[in-house]
Structure 1
Amino acid sequence: MTEKRPVLVITEADDITADMVITELNRRKVPVVRFDPADIGAGLTVSARLGTHPVRVAGQVRTPSRSARLDDIRSVYWRRPRWPGFTHLGDDDARFAAAQVRHGLGGILYSLDGPLWVNHPLRNAAADYKPAQLAVAQQLGLVIPPTLVTNDPDEARSFLVEHEHVVFKTLRWTPYRRDGVPVTGWAEPVTPAEIDQSVRVTPHLFQARVPKVADVRVLVVGRRLFAVRIDSGLLDWRRDYSAARYSVVDLPGQVSKALLGCLDHYELVSGSFDLALDEYGAYWWLELNPNGQWGWLEENTGLEMSAAFADLLTEGHAA
């Protein structure tokens, strides 16, 4: 049966993962309106009226090829949107224009409480703090590595002496270039001798190294869990995807329950979890990415992840 109410897919143009979900929605004949906030202008028009209609927000969002009434949207897939930078304007005008888009377009979209959000961006933002994640995970009964977040060099050295093998992790990924070359932050071993006064500049995350034999990436879509074991032999498997081998695994019931509890805590309907598996079969919490990548896992395992997203977005509610 054709579902006439549309799904909004909000993401950048080059998003293979979103493409996979849209392909599934097209197969179900579900209307899709896709746009990127960076297209505001000729590529994206939005209008909203408040206070003059029975519904909370009335209006529409329109692209050159599609349109949707704001009160008729079934669900919203918030993937990898880009906000415009207005680089053709002067600095002050660019900051002003960018703020108007974030608080105008963003405010209109965030006010939509009828559709299912996967995930609502404000919920994503609330869940995107690693120290808070660790505290929640421990409260839910998951095992977390001993962790220190500090900008005190003495505290950092003391922690590194206390725990023989320690890694440094970034608290938040950001785009970064060194000498014009894009670089990223991996989990890196660190020793007491490397700690100096530069630690004082910002908080740093230090974590005791987990005695792992493999990593496990878990994608949750609604209440469906997809768990994939990643064998790479690397401290951080993201360094070399070609070294990774993938296999589908079943999680212990208490781990599954805790991961679902974590999403419930943050009011999310989807999320990607990174866990570590030790030689005794224990699962260690590493982190939650509220909007993590998963397309390559479907390609390597055949798990029907994109179909699960399409089901969720079509149904308009989590099971």
Structure 2
Amino acid sequence: MITTEASPVLVATEADDITADMVITELNRLDVPVVRFNPADIGTDLSVSARFGTCPAPVAGHVRTPSRTASLAHVRAVYWRRPTWPTFPGLGHDDAQFAAAQVRYGLGGALYALDGPVWVNHPLRVAAADYKPAQLALAQRLGLAVPPTIVTNDPHDAREFVSIHDRVIYKTLRWTPYQRDGVPVTGWADPVTAAEIDESLRVAPHLFQAVVDKVADLRVLIVGRQVFAVRITSGLLDWRKDYSALSYSVVDLPAPVERALLAYLDHYGLRSGSFDLSEDQKGDLWWLLSL
């Protein structure tokens, strides 16, 4: 058992995460102590004890895994990278719901209470930034070009929007696990016509967006104040559909776009973020999405 009192980094992630593995490898190279865990491992493989009001630090206690223990009072940073929460399949429905809520608000709440560490990114701030309509409005306020977009559950309004614009795509407002006939499916940016829109649209809001007449896509990653942009050429409407068809080149963003993206992160209090942009025939960049 390694007890880590000397300013550890907590890495909260799922079991198989190549990105987290690379980050941990670099932290190890720098001799930075790391405690990796997944909230889904709560029980024999993960325990937490957090104390309040009984010591000088606002939050004291520890997070413990089978191989490491981290003092909550000395955590220097938290890398919150796609952790999963327990579902307790061995319990009855009501007991499982109750236990899952206690983990989320107990373990999660104890970690969220830490205001000294650097968070990449704080889950509560990520949650605030996770709404596409709010992303679109903020992007426009910051001076970024936003394609005409409608979020609606009114079939008439949706058909009217699609009829006005030459080409329109449908996007999910949030990715969720989904199966059809037992087969996992995902939501691509797919073309839609007015004839495809029927009364079933009323069940929930849908996002429809005019297609950018693009020549390429850009994926932008910002860490701290460092900006990394890659131009992706594919000829695909949604480049994620076929990675073998992609070609990449590193590019520099126009200064106004870079400033706007940094201001976006500042608005939400995020230290890192990924963005999808499209480049049109004139070379102008259009906002599509913040990840």
Query: Do the two structures share a fold, i.e. TM-score over 0.5?
Result: yes
Hey, what's the Cα distance between the residues in 2 that align with 1:161 and 1:182? Answer: 32
The 3-state SS of whatever aligns with 1:20 is helix
Aligned to 1:104: 106
Query: Can you list the C-alpha shifts for 1:33-68, whole angstroms capped at 9, x where unaligned?
Result: 000000101100110110111110110011010111
Aligned to 1:41: 43
Shift of 1:279: 1.5
Contact 2:6 2:74 in 1 (8 A): no
Hey, what's the Cα distance between the residues in 2 that align with 1:189 and 1:92? Answer: 41
* Residues 85-100 of structure 1 aligned to structure 2 (within 5 Å): 85-100=87-102
Query: Can you list the C-alpha shifts for 1:69-109, whole angstroms capped at 9, x where unaligned?
Result: 00100000000101000001000110010010001001100
The 3-state SS of whatever aligns with 2:103 is helix
Normalised to the residue count of structure 1, the TM-score between the two structures is 0.89
Aligned to 1:315: none
Aligned to 2:192: 190
The one-letter code sitting in structure 2 at the alignment partner of 1:259 is L
Contact 2:48 2:64 in 1 (8 A): yes
Aligned to 1:129: 131
Hey, what's the Cα distance between the residues in 2 that align with 1:4 and 1:248? Answer: 38
The one-letter code sitting in structure 1 at the alignment partner of 2:272 is S
Aligned to 2:250: 248
The 3-state SS of whatever aligns with 1:219 is strand
Hey, what's the Cα distance between the residues in 1 that align with 2:39 and 2:129? Answer: 22
Shift of 1:111: 0.2
The 3-state SS of whatever aligns with 2:145 is coil
Hey, what's the Cα distance between the residues in 1 that align with 2:75 and 2:272? Answer: 19
The 3-state SS of whatever aligns with 1:217 is strand
Shift of 1:183: 0.5
Shift of 1:192: 0.6
Aligned residues: 287
Shift of 1:5: 1.4
The one-letter code sitting in structure 1 at the alignment partner of 2:179 is R
Aligned to 2:210: 208
The 3-state SS of whatever aligns with 2:262 is helix
Aligned to 2:147: 145
Aligned to 1:307: none
Aligned to 1:177: 179
The 3-state SS of whatever aligns with 2:237 is coil
Aligned to 2:162: 160
1:225 to 212, 217, 227: 227
Hey, what's the Cα distance between the residues in 2 that align with 1:85 and 1:232? Answer: 39
Identity percentage of aligned residues = 72
Aligned to 1:306: none
Matched, 1:9 2:43: no
Hey, what's the Cα distance between the residues in 1 that align with 2:205 and 2:247? Answer: 34
Shift of 1:4: 3.5
Contact 2:79 2:121 in 1 (8 A): yes
Query: Can you list the C-alpha shifts for 1:175-207, whole angstroms capped at 9, x where unaligned?
Result: 011111110000000001011001100000000
Matched, 1:261 2:263: yes
The 3-state SS of whatever aligns with 1:21 is helix
Hey, what's the Cα distance between the residues in 2 that align with 1:173 and 1:244? Answer: 23
Hey, what's the Cα distance between the residues in 2 that align with 1:229 and 1:23? Answer: 28
The 3-state SS of whatever aligns with 1:132 is helix
Show structure 2 runs of 5+ residues with no match. none
* Root-mean-square deviation over aligned CA pairs: 0.8
The 3-state SS of whatever aligns with 2:104 is helix
Contact 2:277 2:287 in 1 (8 A): yes
Hey, what's the Cα distance between the residues in 2 that align with 1:162 and 1:133? Answer: 23
Hey, what's the Cα distance between the residues in 2 that align with 1:7 and 1:52? Answer: 24
Name the structure, 1 or 2, with higher relative contact order (CA <8 Å, separation 6+).
1
Show structure 1 runs of 5+ residues with no match. 290-319
Hey, what's the Cα distance between the residues in 2 that align with 1:279 and 1:91? Answer: 54
* Residues 34-73 of structure 1 aligned to structure 2 (within 5 Å): 34-73=36-75
Contact 2:12 2:82 in 1 (8 A): yes
Deviation >2 Å, runs of 4+? none
Shift of 1:221: 0.2
